[in-house]
Amino acid sequence: MSSNTLGVRQAQKLKTRQALLDAGLRLLEEQSLSSLGLREVTRVVGVAPAAFYRHFRDMADLGVALVEESLGSLHVVVRAVLAEQSEAEEVIDGSVDAVAEHVALHPAHVRFIARERHGGVRAVREAIGAELDRFGDEVAEALAAQELSAGWSAGDVRMLAGLYVDHLVMTASAFIEAADAGERRRIADTARRQLRLISLGRRHWQDG
Amino acid sequence: MSSNTLGVRQAQKLKTRQALLDAGLRLLEEQSLSSLGLREVTRVVGVAPAAFYRHFRDMADLGVALVEESLGSLHVVVRAVLAEQSEAEEVIDGSVDAVAEHVALHPAHVRFIARERHGGVRAVREAIGAELDRFGDEVAEALAAQELSAGWSAGDVRMLAGLYVDHLVMTASAFIEAADAGERRRIADTARRQLRLISLGRRHWQDG
DNA sequence: CCGTCCGGCAAACAGTTGTTTACTGACTCC
DNA sequence: GGAGTCAGTAAACAACTGTTTGCCGGACGG
């Protein structure tokens, strides 16, 4: 047996835990974490209320777990975009498309992050903030490695990375609230032009 | 008697209404609108639960009223910043200072907007979105009047305005969550550099 | 001055909430 | 195979929720 084979019991436990997370995420599409009830979640899963405590201390705890799940999947996207080595214009198009695709694939995750980033539960807010900071560091590292960043101070690179991350989150949020495909195209178009303008500012940062 | 003198009764009613709004805003500093209870609000005000219905249909209704109150005060700030006619560097410093000051003066309002912009109550979300769009239009109009925007398409001006408004909101949100004065200075510094980079991109938009 | 209006009240309603308790029964491990 | 672990249960708890009802008493308008 391989070392990561789980016993029947522990596997069942993880399954229930995941069911709780899924139910929570689903219910959070139309409300905020601070109003999500423990019984509400267990009812959807089809489990007794008291069973909740076998997996999470309270709803804030479940929220923090959802942050890891939600932003974990985004990490993959960011790394893919950053790895790309091509012309600026293509990188921009690639980024926007990647974000659009990610939102289409995991709308509930993205909505959760947007909603709880400034939401009413401190622990979750801080978890999201910390994770986005890590994204910023990651992006900064990738930017620093590019020839365009020659002569830039570390602080300046970091602020540019922050601008990119913030813009990514704003774009994703906009996609989430988009009603039809036309609106999505308009958002993508605006995002591309904004990125182009930022990348233009980047190119002339050293001048004066 | 001037035409805007209110009868004793209507004056009292407005006073209670404002007390409900104030209590709601205060309670919303540590939770989201979708979890704020009607009884909770009336209890703080010191009024019977049923009295709530004399002023608002439900909590979402109160939320929408709070949006108007919160963003109304911001309108003044934006207009002041836009009216300024001086060098780019000074405009940037002025904007960031104005935002910092506004956040210091009305932290609860700003926190409310940041929290409910993507929050769990549709009507409030949409009210904030619509108002921010109006801000964007306003900024775009001001930008279009500047010589730097000569040759720009209306769409491009509007996307730049959107970038400014988004950045303003993000900066305000960051200020809100800042713990000490040092962190606030760091945020202001980053915001200034980001605005400088954007304004740099703006200056070279026409080139290539 | 008197009838009407109307903001606020007290009470009752049926549901809901989070948390604790003692329990069962299937899996685990020696 | 037998003892122990532990995820999930059912039931009870007090506390709370939004909403409706009928009523009061002071301001209003003629």
Residues of A in contact with B156 (CB under 8 A): 193
**Mind telling me how many Å the CA of A133 is from chain B's nearest CA?**
12
Amino acid in the structure at residue A109: H
**Torsion of Cα atoms, A85 then A160 then A145 then A98, to 10°:** -30
**What is the C-alpha to C-alpha distance for residues A110 and A178, in angstroms, rounded to an integer?**
13
pLDDT band at A45 (very low <50, low <70, confident <90, very high): very high
Q: pLDDT tens for residues B87-113?
A: 888 999 999 999 999 999 999 999 999
Is B118 in contact with A111 (Cβ distance < 8 A)?
yes
Range scoring the smallest mean pLDDT among B65-69, B72-76, B184-188: B72-76
Determine contact: A133 vs chain B, CB below 8 A: no
Pick left, alpha or beta for residue A111 (phi over 0 → left; psi -120 to 50 → alpha; otherwise beta). alpha
Do A26 and B23 form a contact (C-beta atoms < 8 A)?
no
Q: Which residues touch strand D (CB under 7 A)?
A: A 9, 12-13, 15-16, 46-51, 54-55; B 7-10, 37-40, 49-50, 52-53, 58-59
List, in order of start, the domains of chain B with CATH numbers: 57-203 (1.10.357.10)
Of B127, B31, B25, B29, residue with least CA distance to B71: B127
- In strand C, the nucleotides that come within 7 Å of a protein beta carbon are 6-12, 16-22, 27-29
pLDDT band at B73 (very low <50, low <70, confident <90, very high): confident
